[in-house]
Chain A
Amino acid sequence: MDGIDFDVAPGEAFGFLGPNGAGKTSTMRMIGTVSPVTAGELTVFGLDPALHGARIRSRLGVVPQADTLDNELSVLENLLIYGRYFDLPWSESRRRAVDLLEFVQLTERSGDKVEPLSGGMKRRLVIARALINEPSLLLLDEPTTGLDPQARHLLWDRLYRLKQRGVTLCLTTHYMDEAEQLCDRLVVMDRARIVAEGSPRELIDRYVTREVLELRFNPTESDGDDSSSLDGQLEGLAERIEQLPDRVLVYTADGEAAAATAYERGLRPASILVRRGSLEDVFLHLTGRSLVD
């Protein structure tokens, strides 16, 4: 980590966005007090993780990237023993476990083994497990990676309900729609630094335009000399133009108008799409388009 600086207010849903290797998980592990903070200052609930790790963890819920469920125990037992880890009496742990299985719609599977559950069910079980101690802060590391759309929407719905109940959410994701759905505020991280911070709306306003015009050209036309000649024709069309191998992105307040101007200048793209500026545009603008491995 290299000089990252952020505050999360109670009741807020806060997101860490960034490409793989940006340092999202490391940050989450430090907040979760499982990784030591080597330099700088971190307080969680106003406490120092180096001194009060166990006290902090007793008020945290953690949904790690890997499910880390116990295959030797049933669905219900996974929650039961986790409640014991937080010093809940058995009866209280059982009461909460039953409620939580209801909340994540797994009541019918409570006596089953964990292994045969689907990916979405396992994720829901991990979320239920993270809630057994009624945490005031829930840390979620890529909560919906690898899930189908139905499972993702169900999860988002449950997380949204938690937010309404006043649980602070802190999540990492590289799904922009997830961040837009869930986060009040987020930071974009790249190479272990924070490169932008704000609400999804603010970031879109600050880094991209209201609308984006996508002009797609047939590969032959945009190849070689043609593409450089395109530059001239697009000049002055908008404040920012980004040329990709297969298409041109025109960042503008009014996509329709820009499309009309392009047409007047004699451009004949194979397809034209006008859409709203999105968090994905912000993300790509800030972290670049090259692959990070």
Chain B
Amino acid sequence: MTALDLRRARPGVIASRHWVRVLEHDLLVFRRGWHSYLLSGLSQPFLYLVAMGIGMGLYVNRNGGAPGGVPYLDYIAPALLVTQAMMAAAFESAWPIMGKIQWEKTYHAALNTPLGALDLLAGDLMWIGFRATLLSVLFLAVIVGLGAAVSPLVVLAVPVAVLTALAFAAPIMAFTATQTGDGGFNALFRFGITPLFLFSGTFFPIEKLPLFLQPLAWITPLYHGVAAARSLSLGQVEPIGLAVHVAALSAVALAGLAAGRITFRRRLVV
């Protein structure tokens, strides 16, 4: 009875089973564009891996390869898998969510049904997670196709990528609910997402960063995602290190979700 009492005392604090309906909505929209989504989901990783892993890799490998003598393609493939999921999730939790809150106000239409603000948050977060899963599976297929995976543990890079995607999507959704225009997103991507993409150990180890920047990399979720996926793909797993990475990602995702519960209610229940 305690759970029920809590719900009575603070209605809407717990998302109801209705969040599944939000997922159904997103699937209905997806029915129109899934072919092109899947096509770009296959072609993007292919282009990236050929250009950077194989093309640029020629020069890197000539100079001894990536740390540990690993071929450059094998080194960046799992990292790119994670960054791609992260980039997609960051985008999808910004502009499209803004549209539903502010521009087309479809969230407001949904709130006139039994759905509550937290159903919208949970449903659309799950949807972003689902799309990240699709992208990552496709990316994995390309990695395996190009022979860039050393260990079969590489399949576990998919859940790592999805967790990383959620660690970005949840806080960005929370941020989106505080915005009234997309001006903040430009700053977020210019000063947040893009630097992370370049300097979180994706293309070169963070040990090559200036010493004072290294602690900064440790607290960014992308670094943990990249490091975890890479260790799995290369078959160089250190259990404690992996656990720390997963814990860090989960913590950021949960903190983002907690923030989103506050900002979504504040924005939509007025």
- CB within 8 Å of B: which residues of A? 32, 34-36, 50-51, 53-55, 57-58, 60, 62, 64, 66, 68-73, 77, 80-82, 84-87, 129-130, 133
Contact = CB atoms under 8 A, between A and B. Distances in A.
Contacts of A53: 11-12, 116
A85 B28 contact: no
Nearest to A71: B104
B115 interface: yes
B112 A73 contact: no
A50 B18 CA distance: 18
Interface of B: 8, 11-12, 16, 18, 21, 24-25, 28-29, 32, 104-106, 108-116, 269-270
A57 B106 contact: no
B1 to A, nearest CB: 15
21 contacts: A32-B112, A53-B11, A54-B18, A54-B116, A55-B114, A57-B114, A60-B112, A64-B109, A64-B112, A68-B104, A68-B106, A69-B109, A70-B104, A70-B106, A73-B28, A77-B28, A81-B25, A81-B28, A82-B113, A84-B21, A84-B25
B9 to A, nearest CB: 9
Nearest to B104: A71
A86 B269 contact: no
A289 B186 CA distance: 47
A82 B115 CA distance: 10
Contacts, number: 73
Contacts of B32: 72
Nearest to A53: B11
Nearest to A77: B28
A133 B112 CA distance: 11
Contacts of B12: 53
B112 A62 contact: yes
A85 B114 contact: yes
Contacts of B110: 85
A66 B101 CA distance: 13
B114 A86 contact: yes
A34 B112 contact: yes
Interface centre among B12, B25, B113, B116 (most CB of A within 10 A): B113
A87 B18 CA distance: 8
A60 B114 CA distance: 10
Given A36-B269, A81-B21, 11 more contacts: A34-B269, A57-B112, A57-B113, A66-B108, A70-B106, A81-B24, A84-B25, A85-B113, A85-B115, A86-B113, A130-B112
Contacts of A57: 112-114
A42 B116 CA distance: 20
B18 to A, nearest CB: 7
Contact of B114 (A69, A71, A87, A129): A87
A86 B115 CA distance: 8
Contacts of A84: 21, 24-25
A62 B106 CA distance: 13
B11 A50 contact: yes
